[in-house]
Amino acid sequence: MKDFTEGKEGKLIFKFALPMLMGNVFQQLYNVVDSIVIGRVLGKEALAAVGANFPLIFALISFVVGIAIGSTVIISQYFGAKQMDNVKKAIDTLYIFMFFASLIITTIGIFASDYIFQLISLPEEVIIPAVEYFNVYALGFVFFFGFQGTSAILRGLGDSKTPLYFLIISTIVNIILDIVFVVYIDFGIKGVAAATVIAQAGAFFTIVWYLNRYHEFLDFSPLKMKFDRAIFAKSLKIGLPSGFQQTFVSVGFLALYKIVNQFGTSTIAAYSIAMRIDMFAILPAMNFSAAISTFVGQNIGANKFDRIEKGLKSTLFMMSIIAIIISVFTLTFANQLMGLFTNDAEVIKIGAEYLYVVSGFYVIVSTMFVLTGVLRGAGDTLIPMLITILALWIVRIPISYFLSLEYGYIGIWWGIPIAWFVGITTSFFYYKSGRWKSKAVVKH
């Protein structure tokens, strides 16, 4: 456990964010290794199929993940206020919700995947492997939610290191199984999905075993868990806007894929690879955002608002340096990064053009993530949701569509930084208004 209400703000946030960043790097390696193995062994059609699964999977899990964010905020604020009974109730409630949500999502996903892929105009030669991949991957949702829920709980309590260790082991298992199932046993695209499911299940069961054995406060005993309606109602109040925000983003990705899909399999494959690289590039921003969210939650719970602004300034300084370094690296080695995934010259060219357009603006999106983290930690999740709708649905998707009519797929890429500028501008002005300070769960 880590108490963020005392000590040097920037140092605390950095030390907390670093294990989360390392953990998410390993988690993203799931997807990267999948893409490399598929692109090198199975070809660009299979690569496009896996890439098309990303927005569908994101759409299915996003609402539940948003609700979990609300629970994490509540856990961190109760922990900052030293209300340990409420912390335990919030943890039990989150686990019960995540379990039943995973069962519902798995069922819906398996029955609806084929229809959704047709709806977004995925090419016929890509739909069949995309459905095959998804139907196996969906069997692991219960393990995915279990591990993510446990990690979120530990982060809310100030522990970002424990999930890291289990993610490292899980990633190594995933890499080994990818190679065995695809290269040696020839399971094809189903083998890639099966490797991820097995790795996620292993991560969940081992972290539960560890917590039961060495962490008395977080004893994982399903039959003893109790669902607290009052705490769940508070979680919904904070989490519903985040859930809707995640859902709007995920459906937006599906809409963007529909635009991209008009330009053929090579463009779909290139976009899929470039998105993987993009995810790596903005991982520091996502993790510093999560870190400052926990930092803000605990300090609001302890009624120490003066520490929040100091923490924000330190985080923005660190994040800006990291984002600039990543931008320079990505711009310099765009072709080489694309070449890790495929030998197809056309796919490499299209993907590199994406990176040339987008990667110069990583500092903008990083700042936006950090500001959103402050608002979320305070329990103010409605405004970030509205900002997301504005930036994605009113700016990015329409601009990408109309620019694509004039400039082809390059126009789609330019819609991304334009939306980021809108997002950071509105986030900054809302933060300066100070209205987020009145949204705390714990009242003083």
pLDDT tens digits, one per residue of 370-419? 999 999 888 888 888 889 889 989 999 999 999 999 999 999 999 999 99
Which whole number is the average pLDDT over 8-33? 80
Residue range 121-162, pLDDT digits in tens: 888 888 999 999 999 999 999 999 998 888 877 777 777 788
What is the per-residue pLDDT across 271-319, written as a single tens digit (0 to 9) for each?
Answer: 988 988 888 889 899 889 988 988 988 888 777 888 988 999 999 999 9
Which pLDDT value is given to residue 430? 93
In what helix (H) or strand (E) does residue 324 lie, and over which residues does it extend?
helix 306-332
Q: What is the DSSP string of 130-167?
A: HHHHHHHHGGGHHHHHHHHHHHHHHHHTT--SHHHHHH
**Residue type at 383 in one-letter notation:** I
How many of the other CB atoms lie within 10 Å of CB of 335?
A: 13
For the chain, the domains span 9-438
Q: Which phi-psi region, left, alpha or beta, contains residue 110 (left: φ > 0; alpha: ψ -120 to 50)? A: alpha
On the question of pLDDT at 363 being above 90, the answer is yes
pLDDT greater than 80 at residue 116: yes
